[in-house]
């Protein structure tokens, strides 16, 4: 016999009551954990293990993404009871960096906007923030050079990573595109939407493209000009009360930015980790091949290799490398020891759970 609506709602209410009790029990246990350990409550390796377990045990109908979002907020609220902490990001409010902070830490964290990537690093280095979230590479436009240069100089470590799907929107005070005479955005966002802009705006009227420090700053500028628009994320339209004229205008529908979490704490193995390092070698034939040979010898997979000017001498380069595994893994430790011996400069940037 089909249950009537009243009975179904009664069952839902009973489950909600039980969920409420269990969530508060979890919060009480989190408080006890916080009392027994020192330092900041964020343990990315532990959270990675929690999400991996939930993924294995989830059989629907909620998707893996929905379960992760739900438990991110539960963990965020419980963690705030243990030890509230601050995360610096490239601001102002409404940037993709702020969205990355929320995706990783939930809404119960104290998010601290910063005017530049340099300032994010400074705030964490000076203990004004416990962690920072910075963009390091985009699937369309490649590496974020400033982040990589600062990683080379800083005493901070990489504590984690996350990937964020980037969906760009055109926004303005009104929806009539024929009135638009200028567009504000970050240079990377202009590059990510080049084809759409040519097809939908540049061919229709003369448009001035003006670089902004961030997409959110672009939205702020557009909010003060009837004839201006901005390219930014949906969040920025809400913050600055702008009309969404067009959504998902990025040329690559799989446009994704990888963010790093930076802090001062070393991260223990989670079981599925990545190690980032930066190295240099002498400028001679075969030097790079010899430098990287220990990875193959010790069966360690390299997932990323990127060169950057060292800024020490003209035409000197350093190599940023990501490898699979934690620096405490036996084969990884042996490979790192050999790499250190081969390199003229060697620095481990951190080991952390894979996104």
Annotated catalytic residues are 257, 259
Residue 230, both tokens? 């901005």
Look at residue 138 and give its three-state secondary structure. Answer: strand
Q: Which residue has the tokens 């990127």?
A: 306
Q: What Rg value do the Cα atoms of the chain yield, rounded?
A: 23
Sign of CA dihedral 131, 113, 50, 73: positive
Q: Comparing C-alpha atoms, which of 73, 97, 159, 163 is closest to residue 353?
A: 159
User: How far is residue 143's CA from residue 257's CA, in Å, rounded to a whole number?
Assistant: 10
Neighbours of 107 (CB within 10 A): 12
Q: What is the DSSP string of 12-77?
A: HHHHHHHHHHHHHHHHHHHHHHHHHS-S-S--HHHHHHHHHHHHHH--SSS-HHHHHHHHHHHHHH
The alpha carbon of residue 136 and the mean position of all alpha carbons in its chain are separated, in whole angstroms, by: 8
Q: What is the DSSP string of 317-330?
A: EEEEEEEES-TTSH
Torsion of the alpha carbons at 306, 144, 155 and 44, rounded to the nearest 10? -90
Would you list the DSSP string of 71-136?
Answer: HHHHHHHHHHHH---EEEEE-STTSHHHHHHHHHH-TTSEEEEESSHHHHHHHHHTTSSSEEEEEE
For residues 301 and 298, give the distance between their C-alpha atoms in angstroms, rounded to a whole number.
9
Q: Rounded distance, CA 143 to CA 137, Å?
A: 4
Give the closest residue to 70 by CA, choosing from 19, 32, 34. 19
């Amino acid at each position: 016999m089909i249950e009537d609506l009243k009975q179904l709602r009664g069952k839902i209410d009973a489950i909600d009551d039980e969920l409420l009790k269990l969530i508060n029990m979890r919060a009480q246990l989190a408080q006890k954990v916080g009392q027994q350990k020192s330092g900041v409550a964020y343990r990315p390796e532990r959270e990675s293990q929690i999400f991996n377990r939930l993924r294995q045990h989830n059989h629907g109908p909620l998707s893996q993404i929905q379960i992760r979002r739900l438990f991110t907020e539960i963990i965020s609220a419980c963690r705030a009871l243990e030890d509230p902490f601050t995360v610096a990001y490239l601001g102002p409010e409404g940037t993709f960096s702020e969205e990355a902070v929320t995706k990783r830490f939930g809404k119960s964290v104290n998010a601290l906007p910063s005017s530049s990537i340099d300032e994010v690093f400074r705030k964490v280095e000076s203990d004004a923030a416990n962690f920072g979230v910075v963009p390091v590479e985009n699937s369309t436009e490649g590496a974020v050079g400033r982040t990589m240069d600062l990683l080379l100089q800083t005493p901070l470590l990489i504590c984690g990573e996350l990937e964020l799907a980037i969906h760009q929107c055109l926004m303005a005070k009104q929806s009539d595109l024929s009135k638009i005479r200028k567009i504000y955005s970050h240079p990377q966002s202009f590059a990510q939407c080049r084809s759409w802009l040519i097809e939908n705006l540049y061919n229709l009227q003369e448009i001035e493209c003006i670089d902004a420090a961030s997409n959110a700053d672009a939205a702020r500028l557009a909010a003060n000009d009837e004839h201006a628009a901005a390219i930014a994320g949906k969040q920025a339209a809400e913050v600055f009360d702008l009309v969404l004229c067009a959504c998902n205008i990025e040329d690559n529908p799989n446009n994704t930015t990888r963010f790093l979490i930076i802090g001062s704490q070393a991260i223990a193995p989670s079981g599925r980790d990545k190690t980032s390092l930066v190295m240099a070698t002498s400028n001679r034939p075969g030097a790079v091949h010899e430098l990287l040979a220990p990875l193959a010898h010790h069966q360690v997979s390299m997932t990323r290799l990127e060169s950057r000017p060292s800024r020490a001498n003209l035409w000197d380069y350093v190599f940023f490398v990501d490898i699979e595994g934690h620096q405490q893994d036996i084969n990884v430790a042996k490979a790192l020891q050999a790499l250190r011996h081969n390199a003229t400069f060697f620095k481990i940037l951190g080991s952390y759970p894979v996104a």
